[in-house]
Amino acid sequence: MDAGLKHTRIGSPMRRVEDARFLRGAGRYVDDVPAFGAAHLVVLRSPHAAARIRSIDAAAARTMPNVALVLTAADLEGLGVLRCVTPRHRRDGRPLTQTPWPMLAAEEVRYVGDAVAAVVAETRAAAQDAADAILVEYDPLPAVTDIGEAVRPGAPVVWPALAPENESFVFRLGDAAAVEAAFASAAHVARLDFRITRVSANPMEPRNALASHDPIEDRYTLVTGTQLPHVMRNEIAEYALGIPSSRLRIISPDVGGGFGMKESPFQEYVLALHAAKRLGRPVRWTATRTESFLTDTHARDNLSTAELALAADGTFLALRVNTLCNLGAYLAWQGPVSSTNNVGGLAGVYRTPHICTEVRGIFTHTQPTAPYRGAGRPEAIYAIERVIDLAADEMGIDRIALRRHNMIGPEAMPFRTGLDYTYDSGDFPRNMALALEAADWAGFEARRAASARRGRLRGIGIANAIESAGGPHRGPMEEAAEIRFDSGGSVTLLMGSHNHGQGHETVFRQIAATRLGIPPERIRFINGDTDLVTHGRGTIGSRSMMAAGGALVGAAERIIARGKRLAAHFIEAAEEDIEFAEGIFRVAGTDRGIGIEEVARRSYVPGALPMGDELGLSALLITRPGDATFPNGCHICEVEVDPETGETTLLSYLVVDDVGTVINPMLLKGQIHGGIAQGFGQVFGEWVRYDPDGQILTASFMDYQMPRAADLCAMEVLSNPVPTATNPLGVKGAGEAGTVGALPAVLGAVVDALRPLGVRHLDLPATPERVWAAIQAAGSPPLAAPAPVP
């Protein structure tokens, strides 16, 4: 084997090839794409959370210097609306009511930031000045932003047809009767009421668009940072513009972070395309950071009650979780996904026989919510892990022993949980055992005592995390991969799964290099262009390696199979005698062979193949993996709290993760670290807040607290891989695993630090003010003699 190739194979920590351009400032993002003569789009947004529009006067704006176009709802005849594609049902069983989300509001606005008018001008400044000159007369209406308030009698109504209680849908799963019977026989019931705060994705690169229209072909092109180029093409073309998908090309170049938020279509993209056609010139739009806070879909924002029924010996009998989910003012494209698609995760890694849940989708006068890293999995694991901690404390049972007593063992696989999921593989007890040893759990009390001597409160938290990754578990979505050799023998990968930070350019090259024996540097990678890549479902739900990686493996197998036929012809041997390894087709038992790149070159030579034979060497595979996967792991976090200020310091964080086959351990650790950082951010500060009138109070980084590098500690990631048989690579998905476990592990550590004071729970976020207030309410901390930790 070539020494260089050996260090780039599956399982090797090959360095990211993308970084060569990113670290030199040579990445190509949407704003880097040149467009001669491009005009600039600015959107006028509602200052009210709820109001009727009495009139819009844009006359002055239309006559201002350098203004090319002013659009109101009346100017958009023929355009469609943004729709919700997640099927859910109302309480009476009818399908949920679609809430028409127009490109520009015509009669009523329903959140601060709702689009009312659009201006296109020679410069952004000119467009902004013109937008400010548009006179909109509003009749303000009562607004409600808090999900708890939205379901109270007499609350302001977002959609009159869905009054009272602003309920969009009710989603139920599990055997409620069996759960009720188990609760009736329980020796103890632990109950936890908790809130998961609203957050904003805040990618480094804000949402943006560069739209153009070719009048000759009557065809549009949209350059935008999106996770789902092909899906967005179809959605915008067919449902917003009302044209065949073949008349819209979407190009998604380098993308500065997505986190789920950039999977959805948005009004600004459609407005830019519409304006580009009307003006006959390109149109640009880039959100300011405040505009992002006002218009990106938000995430989380749930109010839940979790109840765990236990026998006297701590055996889990049943779990019941009821949740109110804040949908915002409109149903986003996949708005209900986060709150409903992943509720099976409530089972955790435990043998709880009976579980049921009810999720109610509730409208408020706030931005629509949509999937964000984890998309319901962090909330589910937070519910089960936090209520286990509470039960252990109330029953006087060691929290590790309680988990161990109820944990699913590897011998039980495949295991049908008490709620929806069937785990195919995993060794959960080993995850926890490895984590406890590596984190020195046994030595924690000595460390707590040392902190106490310095006047600090120390806590340790643990969470056993598991998630469904790879798409809906009843049928994972398809993905495409194409391997194309050209007449010079060079190879190009065309992948339907889009890269926006994960390292796809590196790992897909690794997979191809391993399977085809071609050095990664000789493999070209293309994604994010609907004209070049035949098909793609996109990058969401930690699915890329299982879906796109599996498709790539299948395409490589097709290349090898055809290559054997071609090689047999070229070296005059029987096809059944041809073997392939390390990029060489050889006659078995001999030194006669030919390289795959030479085979590709010869396959294009006229006359090199018999008349009538197909020329060239390429393979396209659109396939679907066998089932969803279930990444799992154990997270342990240690913190220290200053009782004088309430400030919490993260001391250590350790994860033992099972993501199946590890393609690139370096990139895996980066994914886990990033996920933990986002979970940490939500625990300690990230929180979108509104005042009673619906005005957003956190519309900049002066008010919305993002985590900084100095807030974090070194994070240790250990692997306990148990490959899955559901896809050719045995991978389970890793993109969201860090966030899934971080919320309960970090918050659990904070609560454990305060537990000697009698504090049993804190709602997110655990800001210094909230922690300090909890300490003050509990009285003086017993620093000298901390109570043992169960």
Average pLDDT over residues 518-531: 95
| Domain containing residue 212 | 38-141+202-295
Average pLDDT over residues 334-361: 94
Return the pLDDT at 626. Answer: 81
Strand segments, DSSP code E, in 260-315 are: 283-286, 298-310
Residue 1 pLDDT more than 50?
no
Q: How far apart are the first and last CA of the chain?
A: 53
When pLDDT is cut at 50, 70 and 90, the band that residue 341 belongs to is confident
Residue 189 lies in a domain: no
Omega cis (within 30) before 164? yes
Residue where one domain finishes, among candidates 623, 645, 676? 623
Residue 474 pLDDT more than 50?
no
pLDDT 10s digits, 693-714: 999 999 999 999 999 999 999 9
Q: Is the same domain home to 326 and 409? A: yes
Average pLDDT over residues 231-259: 96
Return the pLDDT at 2. Answer: 56
Return the pLDDT at 786. Answer: 42
pLDDT 10s digits, 289-315: 999 999 999 999 999 999 999 999 999
Return the pLDDT at 471. Answer: 60
CA torsion angle for 759, 760, 763, 769 (degrees, to 10)? 10
When pLDDT is cut at 50, 70 and 90, the band that residue 135 belongs to is very high
Write out 638-649 in H/E/C secondary structure: EEEECCCCCCEE
User: Is the distance from CB of 316 to CB of 308 less than 8 angstroms?
Assistant: yes
How open is the CA angle 169-173-176, to the nearest 5 degrees?
115
3-state secondary structure of 400: helix
What is the side-by-side strand order in the sheet with 593-595? Answer: 578-581, 584-587, 593-595
Phi and psi of 71, rounded to 5°?
A: -120, 135
CA torsion angle for 156, 158, 163, 169 (degrees, to 10)? -130
When pLDDT is cut at 50, 70 and 90, the band that residue 788 belongs to is very low
Cα(284)–Cα(29) distance, integer angstroms: 13
Least Cα distance to 375 among 18, 61, 739 occurs for 739
pLDDT 10s digits, 352-371: 999 999 999 999 999 999 99
Return the pLDDT at 610. Answer: 87
Q: Which residues lie across from 101 on neighbouring strands?
A: 82
Phi and psi of 313, rounded to 5°?
A: -90, 5
Which residue do the tokens 């694991």 mark?
A: 381
Say what angle helices 399-406 and 377-395 make with each other, to 10 degrees. 120
When pLDDT is cut at 50, 70 and 90, the band that residue 784 belongs to is very low
User: Is the distance from CB of 732 to CB of 724 less than 8 angstroms?
Assistant: yes
How many separate domains does the chain show?
3
The 10 Å Cβ neighbour count of residue 34 is 7
Residue 355 lies in a domain: yes
Q: Is the same domain home to 605 and 679? A: no
Q: Is the same domain home to 110 and 251? A: yes
When pLDDT is cut at 50, 70 and 90, the band that residue 566 belongs to is very high
The 10 Å Cβ neighbour count of residue 24 is 8
Residue 742 pLDDT more than 70?
yes
Q: Is the same domain home to 450 and 505? A: no
Residue 529 lies in a domain: yes
Q: Say which residue, 484 or 612, is predicted with more confidence.
A: 484
How many residues belong to the chain? 790
In eight-state DSSP terms, residue 518 is -
With a pLDDT cut of 70, the percent of the chain lying above it is 97
Q: Is the same domain home to 750 and 692? A: yes
Q: Which residues contact residue 575 at a Cβ distance below 8 angstroms, ignoring those fewer than 6 apart?
A: 564, 565, 568
Return the pLDDT at 279. Answer: 98
When pLDDT is cut at 50, 70 and 90, the band that residue 486 belongs to is very high
Instruction: Characterize the bridge pairing of strands 617-623 and 593-595.
Output: unpaired
Residue where one domain finishes, among candidates 226, 260, 295? 295
Return the pLDDT at 781. Answer: 56
Least Cα distance to 749 among 658, 676, 651 occurs for 651
Residue 179 lies in a domain: no
Which residue do the tokens 């900084």 mark?
A: 708
Return the pLDDT at 787. Answer: 44
Return the pLDDT at 477. Answer: 83
Cα(361)–Cα(720) distance, integer angstroms: 37
Cα(463)–Cα(56) distance, integer angstroms: 53
> Six-digit token pair at 739?
């966030």
Cα(268)–Cα(284) distance, integer angstroms: 10
pLDDT 10s digits, 92-133: 999 998 898 999 999 999 999 999 999 999 999 999 999 999
**Exposure on the CB side of residue 236, measured as CA atoms within 13 A:** 30
Residue 275 lies in a domain: yes
Instruction: Characterize the bridge pairing of strands 523-526 and 648-658.
Output: unpaired
CA distances (Å), 480 to each of 234, 490, 512, 546, 628, in order? Answer: 16, 20, 14, 12, 17
Q: Is the same domain home to 133 and 215? A: yes
In eight-state DSSP terms, residue 407 is B
Q: Which residues lie across from 179 on neighbouring strands?
A: none
Return the pLDDT at 612. Answer: 82
Cα(742)–Cα(676) distance, integer angstroms: 5
> Six-digit token pair at 227?
């996770």
Omega cis (within 30) before 765? yes
Least Cα distance to 35 among 272, 199, 390 occurs for 272
Cα(40)–Cα(37) distance, integer angstroms: 10
3-state secondary structure of 559: helix
> Six-digit token pair at 575?
């096809």
Q: Is the same domain home to 240 and 220? A: yes
Return the pLDDT at 4. Answer: 54
Q: Which residues lie across from 632 on neighbouring strands?
A: 466, 658
Return the pLDDT at 606. Answer: 87
Phi and psi of 415, rounded to 5°?
A: -120, 125
Phi and psi of 443, rounded to 5°?
A: -95, 10
Secondary structure (DSSP) of 321-384: EEEEEEEESS--TTTTHHHHTTGGGGGTTB--SEEEEEEEEEE-SS--B---TTTTHHHHHHHH
Cα(587)–Cα(440) distance, integer angstroms: 55
Cα(623)–Cα(626) distance, integer angstroms: 10
Which residue do the tokens 């009782």 mark?
A: 643
Residue 88 pLDDT more than 50?
yes
Return the pLDDT at 472. Answer: 53
Which residue do the tokens 């010139």 mark?
A: 281
* CATH number assigned to the domain comprising residue 74: 3.90.1170.50
> Six-digit token pair at 226?
């999106």
* CATH number assigned to the domain comprising residue 574: 3.30.365.10
Residue 197 pLDDT more than 60?
yes
Residue 784 lies in a domain: no
How open is the CA angle 774-776-780, to the nearest 5 degrees?
115
Strand segments, DSSP code E, in 573-631 are: 578-581, 584-587, 593-595, 617-623
The 10 Å Cβ neighbour count of residue 645 is 12
Residue 609 pLDDT more than 80?
yes
Residue 336 lies in a domain: yes
Cα(103)–Cα(330) distance, integer angstroms: 12
> Six-digit token pair at 405?
């007593």
Least Cα distance to 647 among 775, 760, 769 occurs for 769
Q: Is the same domain home to 232 and 367? A: no
> Six-digit token pair at 116?
């009312």
Cα(776)–Cα(764) distance, integer angstroms: 18
pLDDT 10s digits, 709-731: 999 999 999 999 999 999 999 99
Q: Which residues lie across from 342 on neighbouring strands?
A: none
Cα(584)–Cα(261) distance, integer angstroms: 44
Cα(687)–Cα(675) distance, integer angstroms: 17
CA distances (Å), 109 to each of 52, 73, 128, 273, 286, in order? Answer: 6, 12, 20, 23, 22
What is the average pLDDT value for the chain, to the nearest integer?
94
Q: Is the same domain home to 647 and 598? A: no
Residue 789 pLDDT more than 50?
no
CA torsion angle for 51, 53, 54, 58 (degrees, to 10)? 140
Phi and psi of 540, rounded to 5°?
A: -150, 160
Q: Is the same domain home to 223 and 92? A: yes
pLDDT 10s digits, 378-417: 999 999 999 999 999 999 999 999 999 999 999 999 999 9
Residue 5 pLDDT more than 70?
no
Q: Which residues lie across from 316 on neighbouring strands?
A: 310
Q: Is the same domain home to 62 and 90? A: yes
Return the pLDDT at 473. Answer: 44
Residue 176 lies in a domain: no
Q: Which residues contact residue 137 at a Cβ distance below 8 angstroms, ignoring those fewer than 6 apart?
A: 53, 54, 55, 56, 57
Q: Is the same domain home to 206 and 263? A: yes
> Six-digit token pair at 759?
């504090």
Residue where one domain finishes, among candidates 598, 623, 648? 623
